[in-house]
Amino acid sequence: MVADARYLSDEQRAMRETVRRYVDTVVRPFIAADRLREWDMDPSRRLAPHLLEEADAAGLRALGVPERFGGLALDPATQSQTLAMVAAEIARGDSGLADKLVQNWKISVLLGRFATEELQAHWFARYLAEPPFLMAHCLTEPRGASDRWLPYDVVATNMDTRAERRGDTWVINGRKQFISNGYDATLYVVYATTDDDQPMSRGTSSFLVPRDTPGLEVTRCNETLGGRFMNNGEITFTDCAVPADHLLVEGVALAQAGIYFRPGKVLVATKSLGIGIGAYEDTVAWVHDRVQGGRPLIEHQAVAWRVADMATRLEAVAALLRHAARAVDEGWPEVDALTNMAKVFAAREVVAVCQHAVELHGGYGAMLEVGIEKALRDALINLHSDGTTDISHFKVAKALFPATAGPYAGPGG
């Protein structure tokens, strides 16, 4: 179900089989072998190095890297659709691992568009040579997160993190939090205000900042409910100076980052879908094997109803996702509405799927060693990942009714 081969090209089918082998022979056995490992409070010990090494061997880390630098070429006409398929398969094994890799793919595409040829040659070579190498996209701040993505573009919403040009360098000061891969990334894309007189859409610039840059400090790992194999982090910048050529986009960085944001909504939705598929598959096996009242659970009417509901919800999510991913690849005018719809719909429906899964496991559903409770925890994260559900709804309304939708923030909003 769900990953119907009729929607895939021969190349995509082959890639899907590669990812499935990786998930079924490497990822799922690792998760099942030690259900308590994700609760290790030392973030550096959670994800075993061999998972990224095996992902590298399967070619999964090379996605998004330009082919001229050793990356895996993807057809631009179906790039978002292909990445969505791969992300869903990995999230079927573990959503935190999927998030680690998804960040790398999206940032690789961003660097391929905006970094200088010299910077690309340097960083892509190092990235492909080092399987533990992770990248992070630094937007969210303590005093501004999803609310900054409302259609309310005034100076008052500008980022607190600032960058000032001083001779041949840009000096960054500020703080970022809730950053995916933020705790253990090697390379960061950092957004900062560079013109206080302009609103965020015209006064925000993006910079490439290596982890070992003086003034950059990773201050903590945020301990999350789910997705715990992706180490979410907090970073501070204190007179952090980068060379002038490390400026990626000046002034209009947020507008130019559409190549990151729009596929990003689809990829968050596909991570939800992958979590749901994994929970569904585990539950189907459980209700066929578990005997209650003298017969397998699946023969009980109430159980059959729930399993059918799970399958229906997942098929609906997959259909909207395919539609949204195609909208990104083909540049449909409805792309902003569809990607936000897909993100919200997938998150909500998969939470419902995972709740069914936990309840159908009975008392075992709450047991760490069985593992189905992990699916529900992981699914809940996506309700607010890459923008909260409410903010996403506002953006859908703005996309649908640009002339009449309210600003939804500020005076009169």
Q: For residue 154, what pLDDT is reported?
A: 74
Tell me what the mean pLDDT of segment 134-158 comes to: 80
The pTM of the full predicted model, rounded to 2 decimals, is: 0.95
Tell me what the mean pLDDT of segment 53-57 comes to: 98
pLDDT tens, position by position, 257-304: 878 888 999 999 999 999 999 999 999 999 999 999 999 999 999 999
Provide the residue type at 179 as one letter: I
Q: Assess whether pLDDT exceeds 80 at residue 153.
A: no
Pick the CATH number of 136-253 from 3.40.50.2300, 2.40.110.10, 1.10.10.60, 3.20.10.10: 2.40.110.10
Lowest mean pLDDT among 142-146, 176-180, 251-255: 142-146
- Whether domain 5-133 has CATH 3.90.180.10: the reply is no
Where are the chain's structural domains? 5-133, 136-253, 256-400
Q: For residue 1, what pLDDT is reported?
A: 42
Q: For residue 143, what pLDDT is reported?
A: 82
> Mean pLDDT, the chain, as a whole number?
94
Length of the chain (residues): 413
Q: Assess whether pLDDT exceeds 80 at residue 408.
A: no
Q: What angle do CA 108, 205, 138 make, to 5 degrees?
A: 55
pLDDT tens, position by position, 237-259: 999 999 999 999 999 998 888 78
pLDDT tens, position by position, 312-351: 999 999 999 999 999 999 999 999 999 999 999 999 999 9
pLDDT tens, position by position, 179-214: 999 999 999 999 999 999 998 889 999 999 999 999
Specify the residue for token string 């690309």.
Answer: 120
Distance CA(385)–CA(183), nearest Å, equals 17
Residue 221: both structure tokens together: 């790992």
pLDDT tens, position by position, 348-382: 999 999 999 999 999 999 999 999 999 999 999 99
Q: Structurally, what CATH architecture does the domain formed by 256-400 represent?
A: Up-down Bundle (1.20)
Q: Residue 88: pLDDT band by 50, 70, 90 thresholds?
A: very high
Q: Assess whether pLDDT exceeds 70 at residue 123.
A: yes
Q: Residue 4: pLDDT band by 50, 70, 90 thresholds?
A: low
Lowest mean pLDDT among 161-165, 345-349, 404-408: 404-408
Residue 365: both structure tokens together: 């559903």
Please give the backbone phi and psi of residue 406, each rounded to the nearest 5 degrees, phi first: -75, 170
Tell me what the mean pLDDT of segment 143-171 comes to: 83
